[in-house]
Structure formats: structure tokens, C-alpha cells
Amino acid sequence: MATTGRSPQLLVFLLCFSSSTLIVVLGQREVPSALVSLSNVTDQFALLSFKSLVTKDPYNVLSNWNSNISVCDWTGVSCGRRSHRIVALDLSGKALEGTLSPSISNLSFLKGFDLTNNSFHGHLPIDFSCLPQLEFLQISYNNFGGLIPQTLSHCLRLQALSAMKNDFYGSIPEFLGSLPELKFLNLFGNRLTGTIPVTFANLSKLDTVDVGINHLHGNIPSELGRITRLRWFGVAVNNLTGTLPESLFNISTLQELSLMTNQLTGHLPKDVGRFLPNLQVLAISDNNLDGPFRPSFSNATSVQVISAGHNKFSGPIPIELGSLTQLRRLYLESNMLTNVPGNRELSILTSLTNCRLLEDVDLSQNLLNGILPASVGNLTTTLWSLWIDSNLIEGTIPMALANLTKLVSLHLSTNKINGLIPPNIGQMHSLQVLLLDNNALEGPIPLSIYQLVRLYSFDIGHNMLIGSISSSINNLTNLQRLDLSSNNLSSTLPPGLFELKGLWQLELQDNSFIGHLPLDLGNFAMMTNMDISANKLSGELPASLSKLQMVEHLNLSWNTFDGHIPQQLDYMVNIKAIDFSHNKLSGEIPKSLEKLQHIQVLNLSFNMLEGEIPSDGKFANLSADSFLGNYALCGPPKFHVPLCLDKTNRQSKSNVARVIAACAIGGSALLVIVCTLIGISCYRKRGLSKRPDDIERLRGITLPVSAKADVYSYGILLLEMFTGRKPTDEQFDGDFSLRQWVAEAFPVAISDVIDSHLLNESNTTPTERSAAMNELLVMIMEIGLSCSRVSPNERMDMKEVLLVFLLYFSSFTLVVVLGQREVPSALVSLSNVTDQFALQSFKSLVTKDPYKVLSNWNSNISFCDWNGVSCSRGSRRVVALNLSEKALEGTLTPYISNLSFLQVLDLSKDNFHGNLPIDFSHLPWLEKLSIWRNHFEGLIPQTLSHCHHLQVLLAAENDFYGSIPEFLGSLPELKFLNFYDNKLTGTIPVTFANLSKLEHLNIGQNQKHGNIPSELGSLTHIRMFSVEMNNLTGTLPDSLFNLSSLQELSFMTNQLTGHLPKDVGRFLPNLQLLAMSDNNFDGPFPPFSNATSVQSISAGYNKFSGPIPLELGSLTQLRRLYLHHNMLTNVPGNLELSILTSFTNCRLLEDVILANNLLNGILPTSVGNLTTTLWRLYLSSNLIEGTIPLALANLTELISLDLRFNKIKGLIPPNIGSMNRLQVLGLSGNALEGSIPDSLYQLVRMYLFLIQQNMLIGSISSSISNLTSLRGLHLSSNNLSSMLPPGLCELKDLVDLQLQDNSFTGHLPLCLGNFATMITMDISANNLRGEFPASLSKLQMLKYLNLSRKRI
């Protein structure tokens, strides 16, 4: 055509005119083929232009787009019958990649354009004003970006706009509200900002609108209540504020309303549900809604799902919810909901017995009181999950609970339940999770529990159970987590316990188990956490501990183990924490422990160890606390033990101290004081100028001679005399001083720092010394510490010293000399009226105390003995108030400010609310403030700036708002800072960079914006850094990846962009967790090969491209890798999917998700060499070719395998039955051939089996009846034939059955009524015949039934 010089438009005109003449004038019914071949040059040119910009076409979909055939016969193209103009282009799900051609604008007859689920990117260059006929635009699941085109306003016939899961930004255009035919609008999962357009209210035909998972703010317009045909309204996961418009709850057509995960406030409308007869799903969780949960929901008679957790709803759960006969799922967790007042039984459970379709109930973390009714056993058998933990439930567990034989998960933990575990609990044979911990259960563990063979998580810790663990525990072969801690269990540990090869967490601490550990612990190959501390176990530690190569935390403390520490513990290559303290271990510390690369905690204190402490490897990072109470150890000064090379050079400098001790033991108070003051006087007369550093050095401070300096000198001298150490000794270097050394041991381990000559030369017996001498030493050392404080104004004066000496010594004389066992109450009553008043004021504002924790807070006993109160031994001042997890409710009194000696305030996991009225400037010694998981609100108090000793600030899961104060960056001792899950706004303070000791920083799930300050790269001690789930923007600062101490780094779910630093991981040798999913990162994914400690990498839902680096295979500690939903590829030129071969070196790998990428190549045989710890492997929605290798069946521990939507061909491996732990198998959307192998019917644990859309032949075996756990069976779109086997009807738990589009013959089985839980059944497009069986009427839960295109 180019040679003729004529335009395509002229040819089109001539063509159209010729066709019209033949059809209309001459009466010809069809356009002649000669003219058809010339049908539409413009449309053909547009499509060829489209094809030219497609860079990847893995399925060769566009291979027939050529001049050999008519454009109307090209794949995905539909033309009008007469005009032969293109009216639809459908290329959905073809894995195409590239950009769009603007020539699409020339398809002027186009009505439908569908590119769903491809990998197109770039802007939309289409001029939609040229497409006036367009009715359907579907471009979801691509990577389109830019603004939504303004020209769409011309598409006045547009009925559906689906653009979910792209990267469109900017605001939602107002003009969308002027498209009169629009019925379906889906912009879910983009980066749209701004507000919800009020113009949507003009869309009178609108059926569906979903703008969830964007960055929208502002209110939900009340005008939207005018959309009278609306069925679906979704604005979930945005930043919307304000109250819920009542008009929204008047749209009677609504079927699904999703407002979850925003910042919405206020009460629910009073008549909510009254005008919603068609509502099926209500999702309002994760907001700040409060007030009562309305009984009027009972009018929404079609509702199936109510999700309202994580709000502030209060008052009783309305029993009217029991009238919702269609209800399947009810989630009201994490509110402040109660039982109906006056009802002894938990009435909501009785009410829910009317909901016969109920599947899942979560009422946990509320204030539900009352007892479990016997009617709980009448709940429907469709119920599979019941969570009512973390409430105030009392009474016993009714026997009738065991009627719930289909229950899979039961959570009753953290209540006040007492009595026995029901002996018939073994009837609940479907149970996989059973949590009864933190109650007051009594009696033995019933034998029937050992019949729950599907159980994989069993927790009955923190009860009052007695008896033994039965040898039948070896029946629980699926058990992965077992917690029996903090009970009164006794006897020996049964050998059957050590046969549970899948166990990865074992908690047996705080019981009375006796006997030895078995010699062979090697069966625990999966074990990561083992705690058997605080029992009565004895004997030597077995050498087989070294076989626990996956273990990370091992605690055997507080037993009576003896013998040596096994030499081979360095084989425990993943160990992070070992606690062998408080045993009778002897011998030397094995030098082989220096080889432990990941050890962070090693506690060997209070044993009988001897010899030199190793100093290489991770020992260089350990502190003196690891070795306390082992008197024969020696080593570097930092461990506060004698030097090994100079064992004789510890001459005593404590002659005066011996005199004082002798006087004290002799009983003369006056002599104690006189001797001490004489010692001070003599010491001072020698001249301060001669030894200023010895006497007055503390953190580099040199003091002027004064009365306060005398007190300071007195304090330091006391410490020096009684420890036999000088401030200038070699072990005291830099910030570590004599005073600090004593303070760390005070008061529990004070004998560890006392000069051994004092203890050895005392005439007292060991028993007397432990009671009398230790009491006196604590008293004297407390005075020494008080007198030597840094600030002169905080020191005692000499008069106070004298009074304290008299008070303490009087008490000491009464206790030791006169044999009185306790300090007289008269002396105690003098201790501190101020502190007692402050505590009584605290109690007066506590409105609820369900556990009666404060019942002993009265004048009958000393306030130091009140629950939760700890006092210093000498001054009897309150130093700690710990009332965590007591379910207390109320507000705080400002009189807490008067507890001026307070070091620890812990109110975590209670229900306090209101502001923090404490004047923290009066609490200068505060070291730990823990108030997380309450309902505190308001600004963070400015007075916290005075707490210069503060080390720990935990305020997560509250409602603090405003910005994070800059002054927090000036607290020099701060190590832990956690404000996770509040309402904090503003930016991240740059002053945090000043916190040189900071180890833990978590400000995730707030509303922070702006960049991550690069200055934070100066936090050289930081171990955990999390800013996840905020609105942060910009790129990642390189400096953050230079923090070599980092162990956990999380900035997922933000709006961060750009490439990752080129050398990321190079300076992160200790990094264990990296979470950066749900951002907009792009560019190549770095190798991370130098981050040798990394265990988890989460980088899904980004835009990473290029090959997955093979260097990831060198990460030997890697357990979890999530790279799904990116654009990652195989290594170029490799026929096999080489990353899988690389992963065979990762022997701890558990979970790999590489789905929704562009991975090509075949599955290598080496996939069978992946570690047996792997339980999930997702490779779906890629471009994988070839066959499934037989070696895949070697992965016998795999639970979930997803290979769907690839290009895999050949047979399903005949040995697949070897994968006997498989629960999920996804092979659909491939080109698999042959029959379903018989061994597949051996996978008895499988509950989801997906092989639809393949080319399988043959029949369904009668052995399918073996798959009794099956809930979903998808065999559709194959070439399967023969009759449906009767065994299919034995799968009574089946919920979803898809057999359509096959060649099944015969009749429908008469036993269809067995499918009592069936929701979806599609057997259409087969060759079935005969009558409909009457048993179809028994499918009462059925929601979707398709039996079309048969001969029935």
C-alpha cells in the first residue's frame, strides 16, 4: 500500500462502499472473501503496532498475528459480524510483557479490552476519546503506572473499569463520576492518593466500587448513600478518618462492605443492619471504632461474615447475633466486649448454637466473663475454629465441648478456667491446635488427649496440673509445638517424648520432673527451642546435645545436672542462647564454644566451673553476668574474675573492712560506725591530692574537697574496703568503674564481689554467713552505693548515714543476735509513708481488678509485700511496680510521681486508658517503663526528658498521637524504644542518631511520613530496626546497611522507592531478618551473600527485575525466602531453574515463595536435594517448562507445593505418594498428561488438591475415599472420563468440588447428601445422565450448584 501513495483511510472508504453495494443493492448475504481479506487495514495496523511493543510472549499467543490469516481470526481478537471491525481484544492471562502502543486508539469500534494478569508496564498512552464505544476496560494485575488518563471521560458507554494491582498514582479523577453507564469500578491495590470523589454519588448504576489498598485520606462522603444499586463497597487499607456515614447503612442492595484497616472513629449507627437485608460481608476491623456493638445487626439476615476485631467496642456482645442463620465467620477479637450483665453463663455461645453454618469464631482478647455453658457442645459441627482466649472466663470446661468433633483449632488460653481437662477430649479427633495455657486447670493430663493424632500445637502451660506425661505421647506424631511449662508435673520424662521427630518447640520448664535426660537426643532434628529449666533433673548432660543442629535456644538451668559441659556443643551451629546456670556443673568451660558463630547469650553462672574463661570468638561480646557464682574461674578483667596469669597478686586491702565485719558479727553497732568513720578519717588525712583517682574517680569525675565530697569518699572507701579492689585496678577501664561493678551485683549476687578474705576469715558457719553476713554486707554496700552517686545532691549526708546504720543494725541485732526471724513491724512501719500513699492512690483509680491482684493492698501488711511491689532491701523504698498481664482497668494517678526511687514500672498487657499524668521529672532513677498493649492516649509526656537512666521504653499497641518527641534522642542510656501500633504522625526524629546505646527501635504501624534519616546509620549498637506499615517515602539510606550489629530490619508496607544499595549485606554479618515487601523497590535483587546470618528475607510485592542471584544459596542460615510478585527471572542461558539447585546448600530452608515472577527454565532433578526441613514451595504463575522430576518426591516433609499456571508438561510423578505430609498440592493451569497416579491417593493429609486446566485422562480411583481430610478438589478442564466413584461421597468434609469440563459418564451418585459441608459444586459440561438424586436437598450449606450441559 505504501507504493500506491494512497492513504489507509481512502482504501477503507472504498472497501466499505464496495461492501455496502454488494450487500444492500445486489442483495448478497455475506461480504465476498476477496473483500474480507482487505477488511480493515486500520485495525490490522493497530494490532501489529501493539504486537511490535510486546517484548515477551512466552506462550507464543501472538504467533498467528500475521498476514496469512484474517485479523479477525487472530488469537484474542473478536470482530463484528458485518463490519468485520474489531470489537473486542482479550489477551488476559497470557504472561505478555511490554508497553502499550498508542495505535490502540485507532480501534474505534472497540467495546471490550482485556489485558488482565499480564506484565505490561508504563503509562496508558491510549487516547480514549477515540474509543467512544468502549464498554469494558480490564487491565488488572499489570504494572501500569502514571495518572489515570483524562481522556477516559469521553467513554460515556463505559460499564466496567478494572485496574486493580497496578501502580497508578495521583488522585482518583472526579470525571469518573460523570460516566453514566459505569457499573463496575475497581482501583484496588495502586498508589492513589487524595480523597474519595463525592461525584461517585452521581453513578446511579454503580454496582461495585473498590478502592482498597491505596493511600486515600479524608472522610467517606455521606453522599455515597445515594447509590441505590451498590452491592460492593470497598475502601479497606487506606488512611481514611472520621465517622461512618449513616447513609451508607441505608443502601439495601449492599452485599459486601469493607472498611477495615483505616483510622475511622466513633460509634456504629444505632440502627445498623436494619436496612441491609442483602449484606453478606461486613469488614470493619482494625479501626478505632468504639461504643456498643449494635444488636440491630440481627436485621441483616443474609450476613455471612462479620469482621470487627481490633477496635474499641465495649459493652455486651448482643445475643441477637444468634438469629443470623447464614453467619459463617464472626471476628470480634481485641475489643472490650463483655458478657450480658447478670448472666452467669457466657450467653453469646448459647445464642450462636442457632447459627448452623458457623465455621470460625474469634472472640479473643476481650473482657468476657462468666462460665462456659454446656450448650457449647450444641454448636454446629461445621465449626472448625473457636478462639475465646485472653478473656475473664471462669468455671470448668464442660464435657459437652467434646461434641465439636470437627473442631480444628481451640483457643481457651489466658482465662480463669479451673477444674479438670475433660476426660473425653480425645473425641475431638480433628483437633490440630489446642491451647489451654494460663488458666487454673488441675488434675492429670487425661489419657484421651494422646488420641488426638492430628495435633501439631499443644499448650497447657501455666496451670496447676499434676501427674506425669504418658508414654502414649509418642502417638502424637504430628506434634510440632509442646508447652507443659509452669505446672506441677512430676516423674521422669518418658522415652516416647523423644520419638516426636517433628517437634521444634519444647517447653517443660518450672515443673518437678526428675531423672536424667536420655542419652540420645538426636531424634529432635527439627528442634529450635528447648526449655527444661527449673525442674529436678540430674545426671550428666548427654553428649547427644550436639546433634541438635537446628536448636537456637536451649535452657537447662535450675536443675541439678553435674559433670562437665560436653565438648561437642560447637556442633550446634545455629545456637543463639544457652542457659546452664544454677546447676552443679564442674570442670573447665570447653574452648570449643568459641566456635559458636551465632551465640548471643551464654549463661553458665552459679555452677562449680573452674579454669580460664575462653576469650575468643563470641566470648568477646559476653558480660560478667555469664559467669557469676563460679569461684574458681579466672580470665580477663571484664568478666570480674581474677586474672589467670597473676593468681597471687590479689593482696587484701581490707584490714579495716575485716575489723568492721568482726565488730558487726560481734554485735556492737557503735563499734561498726566508729570503726568505719575512723577508717574514713585516716584515709582522708593521707591527703586527697595524693590519691585523687583512687578515691574520687567515677566516670571521669574529679570532685572538689567538700562535705559532699567527704560523703562520696566515704562511699567509695566502703566499696574498696569490702571488695578488696581499688578504683584504679586494671579491670576498671573506661565507663566501667568500681561502683558500677558493685551495682551490677547488688543485691542478689553481692557475695560475688566481696573480698574472699572477709568471708574466709569470718568465724561464722556457712549457714550463718549466708543469712547474717550477707544481710550485713548488703546493708553496708547499699550505703556505699548511695553515698557515691554522681550528683552531690543525690547523696546521703553523714547524719543520714548514721541514722541508717542505727536502723539497719537494730534490725540486724533483732534478727541475728536475738534470733527473731523477721524485722519487727514497728520498724517496717517507719519505712516510707510517701510511697504507701502513692500506691493507695494508684489503687483508688483502678476500676476493674478481675484477678483481685490488689486485694492485699491494705494496712494489714507492709506495702513492700503487696502484690507487684518490690522494695529495696535497706531503705524499704519502692523500686519496682510490676502489674503486667493482670487485666487491670482504670486510669493512672499522678501520685506515681512520688515513687522517687522507682526503677521499674511495668503495666503491660492491661486495660489502662487516658493520658499519662505522671511527672517523670520526679522519677530520676527510672530504668524501665513498660506500658504496651493498653489504651493510653494523648501526647508522649515531655517530662520523660528528665529520665536520664531510662533504658527501656515500651509503649506499643496504645493510642498515643502527635509526633515522636525529639528529646527522646537525648536519653543517653536508652536501649529499647517501642512505639509500634499507635497513631503517631510526623517524621522520624533525626535526634535518634544520638542514642549511642540503642539496640531496639520499633515505630511500625503508625502514620509516619517522610524519609528514613540517613543519620540513623550512626546507631552502631542497633539490633532491631522497624518502621513497617507507615507512609514513608524516598529511597533507603545506604548508611542503614552499614550497621553491623543489625539483626532485624523491617520497612515493609510503605511507599519506599529506588534500587537497593549495591553492596547491601556486605556489612550486615549479624542480620537475621529483612522485611521489605509491599513497597515500590525496583532494579536488580542483590546477592546478600555476605549477610551470612540471615534467616528470613521478605521482598514480595515490589518491582525487582533481573535474575534471582545464585549467591542466595550460600546463605546457610536461610529459613524463609519470599520474592513473590516481582519481575524476577532465571539466570540467562541456564536451561534449568538454577536458583533451586543453589538452594540445596541451604539446609535449614523451611519456606520459599517465588510465585508471580517471570522464572523460566525447567525444574532440575536437584530439587529433590532440597533440605527435608522445607515445608512450603510456591513457584506458581511463572514460565517454568519441562516435566516434574521424580526426585521431587524426596521432599517428604513438604506440606504445601504450588506449581500452578506454568508450562509444565508430562506425567504427574508416579512416586508422588512418597510426599506423605502434603496437605496442599497445586498443579493446575499446566499441560500435564496421563492419568492421576495411584500413589496420589496415599496422601491422606491432603486438604486441597488442584489439577484443573491440564490434559489428564483416565478415571478417578475409588481409592479417593482415603483422602478424608480433603476440603477442596479441583479436577475441572481435563479429559477425565468413566463414572464418578462412590468413594467420592465418603469425603464428608469436602467444601469445594470442581469437576466441570471433563467426560465423566453415568449417573450422579445417590449419596450426594453426604456432602454436609459442601458450599460449591460444579459438575457441568460432562456426559452424565439420569435423574437428579433427591439427596441434593440435603446439601443445606450449598451456595453454588452447576449441573448444566449434561443429559440429566
Taking only the tens place, the pLDDT of each residue in 854-868 is: 999 988 888 888 999
Quote the DSSP letter at residue 1262: G
Written as one letter, the residue type at 552 is E
Give the single-character DSSP code of 157. T
pLDDT bucket at 21, cuts 50 / 70 / 90: very low
* Host H or E run for residue 847: strand 846-848
Which of 18-22, 355-359, 1110-1114, 1327-1331 comes out lowest in average pLDDT?
18-22
pLDDT of residue 808: 54
Per-residue pLDDT at 780: 74
The pLDDT value recorded for residue 347 is 93
Q: Give the DSSP H or E segment for 529.
A: strand 529-531
Q: Please give the DSSP secondary-structure letter assigned to residue 1173.
A: T
Cα-to-chain-centroid distance, residue 371 = 31
The average pLDDT across 1029-1038 equals 92
Selected residue with higher pLDDT from 1191 and 644: 1191
Identify the pLDDT of residue 655. Answer: 45
End-to-end C-alpha distance for the chain, whole angstroms? 57
* pLDDT at 1028 > cutoff 60: yes
Amino acid at 4: T
Instruction: Note the pLDDT of residue 868.
Output: 92
Distance, in Å, from the CA atom of 812 to the CA atom of 808, rounded to the nearest integer, reads 6
Residue 241: burial class (beta carbons within 10 Å; 0-12, 13-18, 19+)? middle
Pairing verdict, β 336-338 and 369-371: unpaired
When pLDDT is averaged across residues 341-345 and rounded to a whole number, the result is 90
3-class DSSP state of 258 = strand
Q: Which of 200-214, 766-780, 1313-1327 has the highest mean pLDDT?
A: 200-214
- CA 504/CA 922 separation, integer angstroms: 47
Residue-level pLDDT at 797: 64
Cis check for the bond before 747: say yes or no (omega within 30 of 0).
Answer: yes
> Angle at CA 240, nearest 5°, toward 236 and 245?
90
- Residue 254 grid cell: 449492599
Nearest partner of 367 among 907, 933, 913, 850, judged by Cα = 850
Average of pLDDT values for 1085-1106?
90
Number of H helices, E strands in the chain: 16, 87
349-352: long-range contacts (C-beta < 8 A, 24 or more apart)?
A: 349/373, 349/375, 349/376, 349/379, 350/319, 350/322, 350/375, 350/376, 351/319, 351/320, 351/321, 351/322, 352/321, 352/322, 352/327, 352/379
Tell me, yes or no, if the pTM score tops 0.75. no
* 103 alpha-carbon distance from chain centroid: 48
Q: Average per-residue pLDDT in the chain?
A: 85
* Residues constituting the chain: 1352
The pLDDT tens digits for 1221-1260 are: 899 999 999 999 999 999 999 999 898 999 999 999 999 9
Sign of the C-alpha dihedral, residues 998, 1002, 1007, 1012?
positive
Q: In what order do the strands lie in the sheet with 983-985?
A: 846-848, 889-890, 911-914, 935-938, 959-963, 983-985
C-beta separation of 453 from 426 below 8 A: no
User: In what helix (H) or strand (E) does residue 288 lie, and over which residues does it extend?
Assistant: strand 288-292
742 vs 999 pLDDT, higher one: 999
* Overall average pLDDT of the 305-314 stretch: 93
In this prediction, residues 371-393 reach a mean pLDDT of 93
Q: What is the mean pLDDT of residues 409-425?
A: 95
Q: How many CA atoms lie within 13 A of 672 on its CB side?
A: 26
pLDDT band at 1261 (very low <50, low <70, confident <90, very high): very high
Q: What integer pLDDT is reported at residue 59 of this predicted model?
A: 86
In this prediction, residue 674 carries a pLDDT of 44
Q: At residue 792, does pLDDT exceed 80?
A: no
Of 1017, 1076, 1064, 1068, nearest to 1046 by C-alpha is 1068
Cβ atoms of 949 and 972 within 8 Å: the answer is no
3-state DSSP assignment of residue 1218: helix
Residues with Cβ within 8 Å of 1044's Cβ and at least 6 positions away in sequence, in order, are 1020, 1067, 1068, 1069, 1070
Query: Is the pLDDT higher at 567 or at 873?
Result: 567
pLDDT at site 233: 95
Phi/psi region, residue 868 (left: phi>0; alpha: psi -120 to 50; beta: rest), is left
One DSSP character per residue, 1025-1083 reads: EE--SSEE-SPPPGGGGG-TT--EEE--SS--EEPPPTTTTTT-TT--EEE--SSEEEE
Residue 1316: count of CB within 10 angstroms of its CB? 16
Q: Give the chain's radius of gyration (CA, Å).
A: 37
- Which of 225, 171, 175 lies closest to 196, judged by CA? 171
Nearest to 1153 by CA among 1216, 1067, 1224, 1080: 1224
In this prediction, residues 508-520 reach a mean pLDDT of: 91
Burial of 540 (0-12, 13-18, 19+ CB in 10 A): middle
Q: Is the pLDDT of residue 1106 over 70?
A: yes
Which residue's C-alpha cell is 508497553?
A: 99
Average pLDDT over residues 310-320: 93
Residues of the chain above pLDDT 90, percent: 62
Question: In this structure, which amino acid lies at residue 885?
Answer: E
What share of the chain in percent tops pLDDT 70? 86
